Structure 1
């Protein structure tokens, strides 16, 4: 639970920082963004570790999912007509 809540909190900090840059006139500080993204990455790694997964296997599974969903690369049509969802409904 700590990992999931920490991840959500840190992702929210990234969102809040980007909001300030886009809408509040703050100048983008790449080092600040890198720090916040590092916190997100730490929680992802922590959650993966306590579940016995590696970041590599998570990345590979995500790539496989996206290749199924967007076999020709991302496009709006495939985003609306999701092949992976259709294939899961067949099973």
Structure 2
């Protein structure tokens, strides 16, 4: 699955289907996805030694990263000049650091009423995604394959679209 296709398909389970109608919906969507991103990045760290678990968590991180790009009205385009090198552990560290920077930007925008630095946020998200691509390779996978698994999981969990009851049931875990 191409990553732009994943971004489009992910909108099905996003709040407001990724298209907020006002500032409150926009801020709620950004907050939800920034919190989800940082939480899922922590789960990547805890799953690093379990291939199946980390592939799932990488997919969840991708969902939140691409969702934030959607809320920022940005379609994913790879960064040509950003090279990711290092060990699996150092790449996970970069992913955690970038997610922290992204969530900090959202916090300052929503709660401190700073201006949102869109270019900085978009760059950090694209860097994070590039690190996810490289991390997937450490587990003999591709981010595209992982994103397809994530969409399949979300379709099972939410047959129509996101709703609270299906979120609580989590039939894909049963």
Superposition RMSD in Å: 1.2
Q: Which runs of 4+ in 1 moved over 4 A?
A: none
Match of 1:23?
Answer: 111
* CA shift for structure 1 position 23: 1.4
How many residues end up aligned between the 2 structures? Answer: 86
Which protein has the larger Cα radius of gyration, Structure 1 or Structure 2?
1
Structure 1 gap segments, 5+ residues each? 87-91
Report 1 or 2 for greater relative contact order, CA contacts < 8 Å, sequence distance ≥ 6.
2
Matched, 1:44 2:149: no
Distance in 1 between residues matched to 2:153 and 2:133, nearest whole Å: 20
Residue from 91, 95, 98 that aligns with 1:3: 91
Distance in 1 between residues matched to 2:168 and 2:141, nearest whole Å: 31
Distance in 1 between residues matched to 2:146 and 2:171, nearest whole Å: 21
Match of 1:35?
Answer: 123
SS of 1:33's partner is: helix
TM-score, length-normalised on structure 1? Answer: 0.85
Structure 2 gap segments, 5+ residues each? 1-88
Match of 2:156?
Answer: 68
TM-score, length-normalised on structure 2? Answer: 0.47
Stretch of structure 1 that moved more, 39-48 or 10-19:
39-48
Residue from 101, 107, 110 that aligns with 1:13: 101
